[in-house]
Amino acid sequence: MSTSVAQYREREQTVRVAAEPLLRVNIGCGTTAPLGWYNIDNSPTIWLSRLPLARRLFRTPAWPRNVRRFNVLKGVPFADETVDVIYSSHTFEHFTYADSLALARECFRVLKPGGMLRLVVPNLEQLVHDYLADPDPMASHRFISRLLLGHTWRDLLHAGAHHSQMFDARSLVAMLKVAGFLDPRPSRFGDSRIPDLHEVESESRRDESLYVEAEKTLQS
């Protein structure tokens, strides 16, 4: 029995959809900008690094060419329910709570149903544990300096160069719930449903980081 034109077109469409790559967005990517990801950062040194003289004068990082400079506090640049994966490492702590909540809501907006959001931030609970276990008389000062909450003149050049808040697992999960995610959960380094996570997740920050992952599910 020959395949009907309708069946052929349906099968062709299924193959084409299956072959489409995932839209994976890497917010606050820094210089970790793997191919196959939509890499976003807002550092002003991205533009400077494109100019040989400025690159030598200001000693800018070696920004990959596939990093797009964009301020996500103005919104995530995608239409509703078009993104499969959003990953962000050591970025949300640089914003105020109000801004980070607004950004989390933007992530929820652009994710497809079933899409995944994975956030990595400094782990306040671990920092507190280290402080309490430190016998040095100056442990309190070391703890405060590790929080990076002090702002300097560098913030005039790059707003957000220092931390504006800190998260533990409870506060990060709670924020994501307010943003619309029904069941965000703490995770571990490299433990994720996101394919090829190793391309963006750095092991060098494993011991200092908190990992939380959330799937976009809609209430019935």
Residue 192 domain-assigned (yes or no): yes
Q: pTM for this structure?
A: 0.85
Q: Calculate the alpha carbon distances from 70 to 32, 40, 58, 107, 204 in Å.
A: 16, 6, 21, 15, 26
Q: Is residue 220 part of a domain?
A: no
Exposed (0-12), middle (13-18) or buried (19+): which is 184, by Cβ within 10 Å?
buried
Instruction: Report yes or no on 138 lying in a domain.
Output: no
Q: How confident is the model at residue 94 (pLDDT cuts 50, 70, 90)?
A: very high
Give tens-digit pLDDT for 152-188.
666 655 555 689 999 999 999 999 999 999 999 999 9
In a domain, 8, yes or no: no
Q: What is the C-alpha to C-alpha distance for residues 130 and 1, in angstroms, rounded to an integer?
A: 71
The total number of structural domains in the chain stands at: 1
Q: Is the pLDDT of residue 57 over 50?
A: yes
Would 1 be classed as within a structural domain?
Answer: no
User: The domain containing residue 197 runs over which residues?
Assistant: 15-123+163-215
Q: Are 213 and 127 in contact (CB under 8 A)?
A: no
The domain that contains 71 carries what CATH number?
Answer: 3.40.50.150
Q: Is pLDDT of 2 > 70?
A: no
In angstroms, the CA 4 to CA 12 distance is: 12
Percent share of the chain, pLDDT over 70: 85
Q: Is residue 89 part of a domain?
A: yes
Residue 148 in domain: no
Which of 114, 83, 88, 116 minimizes the C-alpha distance to 100? 88
Chain mean pLDDT for the chain: 88
- pLDDT value for 15: 42
Is residue 137 in some structural domain?
Answer: no
The set of residues, in sequence order, having a beta carbon less than 8 Å from that of 59 and lying 6+ positions away, is none
